[in-house]
Amino acid sequence: MDKAELIKKLPFYDRLTAREKDVLLSRVYTKTFLKGETVHRSEAECLGMIYVLSGELRTYILSDEGREVTLFRIWEGDACVTSASCVISEITFDTFMVAEEEATLLIVPSNIFSEIVEHNIYVRCFAYELLAEKFSDVMWSFQQILFKKFDVRLAVYLTEEYNVTGNAEIRKTHEQIAKQTSSAREVVTRMLKRFSDAGLVELTRNSVLLKDIDRIKALASE
């Protein structure tokens, strides 16, 4: 798919002027990140706005002890502006963004995105609404960590994976699940063993097969 078609995927495309569309066409680019590769970190040069064409990304912070705390994840069809912190001054916390699976992104360079945000009220509103949405995701993540038992959190995670992929086989290692649920691998392994003993899942190498999705969803809703 050529860039002229790709930029039409941007949620605010229809609100752009003819000149802004021409500028985007000449400056946006795509980039593929391998699984585990860092996409962006707050200390690095501002990346700009990203739109996920394929794959999965995870944004997290590091505790003083080096523990990763997942803030939110995004998938194909999602946009993100937290990688444009030099454009949106309200983004003041240090974050890391990594490719959980191989991911191809459509990237609007920071200087171009900054110019459009400054002159196009619709894009500016889009950016702040998206930022508010991600802040809500962050608050939800901390609420899960602080107030939910881990069996419920794990059930929520498995349910979300199933809803996103439509696949009952969750192809994630225990280490990946631990990072994405802000837990320890040993805790994940123990809880998955309990789920397996209860007939909720079947554990295979590097994957978790959901055997009783209804019961998992019921646990997630507690």
Domain spans in the chain, listed from the N-terminal domain onward:
3-146, 148-220
Task: Assign domain 3-146 one CATH number from 2.40.50.140, 3.40.50.880, 2.60.120.10, 3.10.28.10.
Answer: 2.60.120.10
Q: What pLDDT score does 178 carry?
A: 94
Q: What pLDDT score does 89 carry?
A: 58
Q: What pLDDT score does 44 carry?
A: 65
Look up the pTM and report it.
0.84
Q: What pLDDT score does 86 carry?
A: 66
Distances (CA, A) of 104 to 31, 51, 55, 56, 57: 6, 9, 7, 9, 10
Q: What pLDDT score does 12 carry?
A: 95
Distances (CA, A) of 124 to 87, 116, 130: 11, 8, 10
The first and second tokens of residue 69, run together, are 């705390």
Same fold, 3-146 and 148-220: no
Q: What pLDDT score does 48 carry?
A: 87
pLDDT in tens, the chain (222 residues): 789 999 999 999 999 999 999 999 999 999 999 999 999 887 667 788 999 999 999 999 887 777 889 999 999 999 998 776 666 555 556 789 999 999 999 999 989 999 999 999 999 999 999 988 988 998 998 888 888 999 999 999 999 999 998 999 999 999 999 999 999 999 999 999 999 999 999 998 889 999 999 999 999 998
CATH number 1.10.10.10 is the correct assignment for the domain at 148-220: yes
Q: What pLDDT score does 212 carry?
A: 96
Q: Which of 37, 61, 93 is nearest to 182 (CA)?
A: 61
Q: Of all helices (H) and strands (E), which one includes residue 208?
A: strand 207-210
Exposed, middle or buried by CB within 10 Å (0-12, 13-18, 19+), for 83?
Answer: buried
Q: What pLDDT score does 87 carry?
A: 61
